[in-house]
């Protein structure tokens, strides 16, 4: 598979800098708190900072002046608004929204990184280690890649997919409809990214692009899958994915903030119509 073309993305970035920026769907690669309580405010995202930030330490520097404090408070509120939007609208609506306002992607990710800096462990790091312990020749699709941390930390060929492309290697699209070829990837990853109300269509897309026996890794916020706090029943969630054509290999529920599911695409599966997908509770962050 060829990587997405650089020129289109570079053009897209230039257009955004001019203020009229829009996402461009890249040409298809050819065959080839959780309610965490935020103490410190989000800061502007640094590229690649996700994996570089030491655990348990915020990437934010402490605001000193009153003006800085007010700015931080405003951007924290903005992050929570964007986060709620992503959890309560469809992928297509989210794509249209961020395409029209691509700078909001930075606002969202600054706030997201700030929240993650308080998590004792980040699921993306566990996934990176899992990939490193398997074949580097596997092709990976990272659905909802954010800062493309996975692509930056493994040797594998990674198709990084998100609503906005700030890097030529990231494919900007609604991940319900990617330009990837059918049966073309060995691993599909959703790391805290099953956000839209139509999340089932993202998993259907992963099913389409995965090779038979390919791996599906899903990390989700614990509270979204906790029936005791209004979340979905994790067994029902797994049952629905199984009806889509996957077998659960293992479930890692030992982390405080998230659950990780390791599934494999069945060699052959009969098509189940009308799968009963449980609703995943939006993960809304409290104001700290
Ligand atoms: C919570 S962030 C996680 C980012 C990254 N996976 C990580 O673990 O650091 C979720 C990401 O999914 C992306 N996302 C949500 N819905 C999407 C959609 N329909 N299509 C593409 N990306 C989407 C968001 O833009 C965001 O970057």
What are the tens digits of pLDDT across the range 187-205? Answer: 999 999 999 999 999 999 9
pLDDT tens column, 14-38: 334 333 333 444 433 433 333 333 3
- Ligand 1 centroid to Cα of residue 248, in Å, is 23
Reported confidence tier of residue 122, pLDDT bands at 50, 70, 90: very high
Q: Of 87-91, 131-135, 281-285, which gets the smallest average pLDDT?
A: 281-285
Reported confidence tier of residue 286, pLDDT bands at 50, 70, 90: confident
Check if 163 has its Cβ closer than 6 Å to any atom of ligand 1: yes
Check if 150 has its Cβ closer than 6 Å to any atom of ligand 1: no
- Which residue has its alpha carbon closest to ligand 1 atom 24? 144
Average pLDDT over residues 101-107: 93
pLDDT score at 62: 59
Strands 185-191 and 210-221, sheet pairing: parallel
Check if 196 has its Cβ closer than 6 Å to any atom of ligand 1: yes
Pick the atom of ligand 1 nearest to 83's CA.
Answer: 1
Greatest mean pLDDT among 62-66, 73-77, 257-261 lies in 257-261
Q: Of 73-82, 125-134, 224-233, 242-251, which gets the smallest average pLDDT?
A: 73-82
If you search the block for the tokens 């297509």, which residue do you land on?
A: 92
- Look at residue 63 and tell me whether its pLDDT is greater than 90: no
Check if 223 has its Cβ closer than 6 Å to any atom of ligand 1: no
Check if 50 has its Cβ closer than 6 Å to any atom of ligand 1: yes
**Which is nearest to 103 in space by CA: 20, 24, 190?**
20
> How would DSSP label each residue in the chain?
-PPPPHHHHHHHHHHHHTT-----PPPPP----------S---PPPTTHHHHSPTT--SPPPP-SHHHHHHHHHHHHHHHHHHHHHHHS-HHHHHHHHHH-THHHHHHHHHHHHHHTTSSS-HHHHHHHHHHTS-TT-EEEEET-TTTHHHHH-SSEEEEEESS-SSTTEEES-TTS--PPTT-EEEEEEES---STTHHHHHHHHHHHEEEEEEEEEEEEGGGG-GGGT---HHHHHHHHHHHTEEEEEEE--SSSEEEEEEEE-SS-PPPSS--PPPPPP-PPPP-
pLDDT tens column, 136-157: 999 999 999 999 999 999 999 9
Q: Which of 129, 144, 206 should be mutated for ligand 1, with most atoms under 8 A from CB?
A: 144
Length of the chain: 288
Check if 146 has its Cβ closer than 6 Å to any atom of ligand 1: yes
Calculate what percentage of the chain has a pLDDT beyond 90: 66
Q: What is the pTM of this model?
A: 0.80
Average pLDDT over residues 206-213: 97
């Amino acid at each position: 598979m060829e990587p997405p073309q650089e020129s289109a993305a570079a053009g897209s970035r230039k257009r955004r800098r001019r203020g009229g920026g829009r996402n461009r769907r890249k040409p298809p690669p050819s065959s080839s708190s959780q309610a965490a309580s935020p103490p410190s405010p989000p800061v502007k995202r640094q590229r690649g900072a996700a994996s570089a930030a030491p655990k348990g330490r915020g990437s934010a520097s402490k605001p000193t002046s009153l003006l800085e404090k007010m700015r931080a408070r405003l951007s924290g509120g903005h992050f929570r608004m964007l986060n709620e939007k992503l959890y309560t609208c469809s992928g297509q609506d989210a794509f249209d929204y961020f395409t029209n306002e691509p700078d909001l992607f930075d606002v969202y990710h600054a706030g997201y990184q700030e929240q993650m800096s308080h998590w004792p462990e980040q699921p993306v790091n566990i996934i990176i280690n899992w990939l490193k312990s398997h074949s580097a020749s596997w092709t990976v699709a990272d659905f909802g890649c954010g800062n493309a941390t996975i692509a930056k930390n493994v040797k594998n060929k990674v198709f990084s997919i998100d609503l906005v492309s700030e890097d030529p290697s990231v494919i900007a699209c609604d991940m319900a409809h990617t330009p990837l070829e059918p049966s073309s990837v060995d691993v599909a990853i959703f790391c805290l990214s099953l956000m839209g109300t139509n999340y089932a269509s993202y998993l259907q897309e992963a099913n389409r692009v995965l090779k038979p026996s390919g791996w599906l890794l899903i990390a989700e916020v614990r509270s979204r899958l906790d029936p005791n706090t209004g979340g979905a029943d994790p067994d029902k969630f797994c049952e629905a994915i199984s009806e889509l054509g996957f077998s659960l290999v293992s479930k890692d529920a030992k982390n405080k903030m998230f659950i990780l599911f390791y599934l494999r695409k069945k060699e052959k599966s009969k098509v189940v119509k009308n799968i009963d997908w449980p609703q995943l509770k939006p993960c809304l962050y409290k104001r700290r």
